[in-house]
Amino acid sequence: MAQTDTVTRILDTAEVLFAERGFAETSLRTITSKARVNLAAVNYHFGSKKSLIQAVFARYLDPFTVRFHHALDELEAQYAGGVIPLEVLLETMARTVLDVPAERHSLKVFMKLLGLAYSQAQGHLRRYIQDEYGSVFSRFTDLVRLATPDLPDSERFWRLHFVLGTVIFTLSGLDALRDIAEKDYQEHVSVRDLIRRLRPVVVAAMNAPLPPPPMPKAEAS
């Protein structure tokens, strides 16, 4: 192997370029030249650009899933048989998300990638993430169901995605927002600062009163 492994050098370079410019806007030539690696190296080691994108995600999501499963195991043991409170579940997820990139690169990159996974076309990516990491998420939502027995299933489904949107949107667009915030309010916000602000908002959102029942169908949508 070279000074540092070619594979990891490609991954390190690709993840920040993807995060700050998107997938389609980042060419293999940009990646390989910045990583000081031959152009063909990507296709040799990963097979294709698609596979490289998936590999970038795997490097974050693999450690995340094992840590999260582990954390949920501990929680279930701790509350043996009982219900794990919603706040604890959310807190655990947040802590796991925060821990994973700590040992790797920046949390910012991780969140930007998650944001891209949702917004960019890249159908293969959504399918890959769903197939590969869907099970952890279902386990989590099952626990959330136990913690919020009064919420109708569909309502809980939507609210989870509401807060997911809040978190991903905020953290993935953090740089731009932080610039505005610092200019207007002269206060520096760290990621952990943001999480502190997010917590009460997310809890309040999940515990919001139920919406009124839908109007008797007046017009088709």
Residue 43 contact, options DNA, a second copy, none, Cβ 5-8 Å cut-off depending on partner type? DNA
Residue 139 contacts residue 197 (beta carbons within 8 Å):
no
> Smaller CB distance to DNA: residue 39 or 208?
39
Please give the size of the binding site for DNA, defined by CB under 7 A: 20
**What is the chain's Cα-based Rg?**
20
> Smaller CB distance to a second copy: residue 44 or 158?
158
Long-range CB pairs of 205-211 (<8 Å, 24+ gap) are 205/159, 205/162, 205/163, 205/166, 206/86, 206/90, 206/148, 206/159, 206/160, 206/163, 207/86, 208/159, 210/151, 210/152, 210/155, 211/155
Binds DNA by CB under 7 A, chosen from 8, 39, 126, 161 = 39
Q: CB of residue 124 vs DNA: minimum separation in angstroms?
A: 11
> Smaller CB distance to DNA: residue 23 or 140?
23
Question: Look-up: residue for tokens 């970038």?
Answer: 56
> Smaller CB distance to DNA: residue 45 or 69?
45
Cα dist. 12→95, 110, 118, 131 in Å? 23, 12, 21, 24
Residues in contact with a second copy by the rule CB under 8 A: 20-22, 24-25, 115-116, 118-121, 126, 153-155, 157-159, 161-170, 172-173, 176-177, 180-181, 184-185, 187, 189-194, 196-205, 207-212, 214, 221
Q: CB of residue 12 vs DNA: minimum separation in angstroms?
A: 14
Contacting positions for DNA (CB under 7 A)? 1-2, 6, 26-30, 37-45, 48-50
